[in-house]
Amino acid sequence: MTIKSLYLFHVIKRHAIWLIMLIGAIVLFNPQIEEFTTIMFIITVELIAIALSGVANYVYTRIDFPSHSPIVLGFIFLGVHICAGLTILGVYLVQYG
């Protein structure tokens, strides 16, 4: 295997896990219990947030965060998940409040 194909294999393997979890959450999104539906919605939105954080990290910067400043990468992920959590809270309150 060449280095490029090995890198492509690792990228596919890394993103396949959250894609499988996202598909599973969407398939199970049809229950009748509101709390279970909300939990599936939380899982789906958080998986989308993880994917978007990874894409934003890849697209907007080429900095190697673990060696330069690992706290910045943590703040990026924290900000995305706080926004996702507030969105979920708003949707939950509108649907079931």
Q: Residues 6 or more apart from 9 whose CB is under 8 A from it?
A: 1
Q: What is the torsion angle, in degrees rounded to the nearest 10, for the CA atoms of residue 31, residue 33, residue 36 and residue 37?
A: 60
Rg (CA), the chain: 17
| Local confidence band at 64 (pLDDT 50, 70, 90 cut-offs) | low
Token code pair at residue 51: 């994917």
The pLDDT value given to residue 68: 66
Give me the pLDDT at residue 17, please: 80
**Angle at 20 (CA atoms; ends 17, 21), nearest 5 degrees:** 85
Q: In 3D, which of 82, 15, 73 has the Cα closest to residue 46?
A: 82
pLDDT of residue 31: 61
pLDDT in tens, 9-34: 777 777 788 788 877 777 776 666 77
Q: What is the pLDDT of residue 5?
A: 74
Say if pTM beats, i.e. exceeds, 0.75: no
